[in-house]
Amino acid sequence: MCGIVGFCGNKQAAPILLDGLSKLEYRGYDSAGLAVRDGSAQVQIVKAKGRLKELYAKTNGGQSLIGTCGIGHTRWATHGEPSDVNAHPHYNKNKNIVVVHNGIIENYLKLKQKLEKKGYEFVSETDTEVLAHLLDYYYQGNPLQAITKVMHRVEGSYALGIMFQDHPDELYAVRKDSPLIVGETENGCVIASDVPA
């Protein structure tokens, strides 16, 4: 069972995300990753196969990822072997749409084939990468419209955390049949796939 966290506010996101992911370790996982951005800057994505301590090491406890908005993920393999490539977050070709996902996309192969016919290239073996490319396909500058179109085409259960490059201080979250907690603190807004995070 995967775990997702997200934070957008006035504090550095990466340490908060790592703390949230550590509280989801009980779910079991084979890899973890973070995507963090600082305003209009490019999203920084770091993934690590193995335990969360590998991600801590790659990011210096989150200190090397500067930004106040981000998403994080611990992955329990359902599609593809454990690897840095298959670890979340997943993104479109330009890395301007980034997604973390808890759940399963039952019609991902059908969607993947349609996207490949339209020229999209896939690097992972996951169902989640389909979401990033499908969001890219429908995105015309309005995140909510793109997310709504994707939700109407995806079959399965999901909780998603999504970031769009064009909307630097915004974090989008959506769910269907998978748990998703949304909260607000004095420092910002948080999402998580379970209360402890």
Rounded mean pLDDT of the chain?
Answer: 92
Per-residue pLDDT, 76:
72
Residue 177 DSSP symbol: B
Give the whole-angstrom CA distance, residue 6 versus residue 20. Answer: 9
Give the whole-angstrom CA distance, residue 22 versus residue 17. Answer: 9
Give the whole-angstrom CA distance, residue 53 versus residue 18. Answer: 10
Q: Of the ranges 118-122, 124-128, 137-141, 160-164, which one carries the lowest mean pLDDT score?
A: 124-128
Residue written as token pair 């305003």: 39
Residue 42: which pLDDT band, with cuts at 50, 70 and 90? confident
Do residues 184 and 10 touch, judged by C-beta distance below 8 A? no
Give the whole-angstrom CA distance, residue 165 versus residue 180. Answer: 23
Residue 86: which pLDDT band, with cuts at 50, 70 and 90? confident
The pTM of this model reads: 0.94
Residue 140 has pLDDT above 90, yes or no: yes
Give the whole-angstrom CA distance, residue 166 versus residue 141. Answer: 7
Residue 184 has pLDDT above 70, yes or no: yes
Residue 175 has pLDDT above 70, yes or no: yes
Give the whole-angstrom CA distance, residue 183 versus residue 173. Answer: 11
Per-residue pLDDT, 84:
80
Give the containing element (helix H, strand E) for 187.
none
Between 78 and 143, where is the model more confident?
Answer: 143
Residue 101: which pLDDT band, with cuts at 50, 70 and 90? very high
Give the whole-angstrom CA distance, residue 114 versus residue 104. Answer: 18
Residue 13 has pLDDT above 90, yes or no: yes
Give the whole-angstrom CA distance, residue 167 versus residue 108. Answer: 26
Give the whole-angstrom CA distance, residue 66 versus residue 144. Answer: 26
